[in-house]
């Protein structure tokens, strides 16, 4: 039981980290191109 709990905890931690990395990438992309966030999300949706 304890091992299962630890696995879940690690998964949640990784999810938060990947989300933070994603937002940082979006922020960098936004600053680099100086475009509106809606345009960025459109380009993501097209992929």
Whether pLDDT at 22 is above 80: yes
Q: Over pLDDT 90: what percentage of the chain?
A: 0
Q: Enumerate residues 6+ apart whose C-beta is below 8 A from 43.
A: none
Average confidence (pLDDT) over 16-29: 78
Q: Token pair of 32, please?
A: 């680099």
How high is the pLDDT of residue 15? 78
Q: What is the pTM of this model?
A: 0.32
Q: How many independent structural domains does the chain possess?
A: 1
CA distance 23 to 3: 31
Per the structure, the complete domain to which residue 11 belongs is given by 1-46
């Amino acid at each position: 039981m304890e091992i299962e709990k630890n696995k879940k905890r690690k998964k949640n931690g990784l999810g938060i980290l990947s989300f933070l990395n994603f937002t940082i990438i979006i922020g960098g992309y936004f600053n680099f191109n100086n475009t509106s966030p809606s345009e960025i999300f459109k380009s993501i949706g097209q992929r």
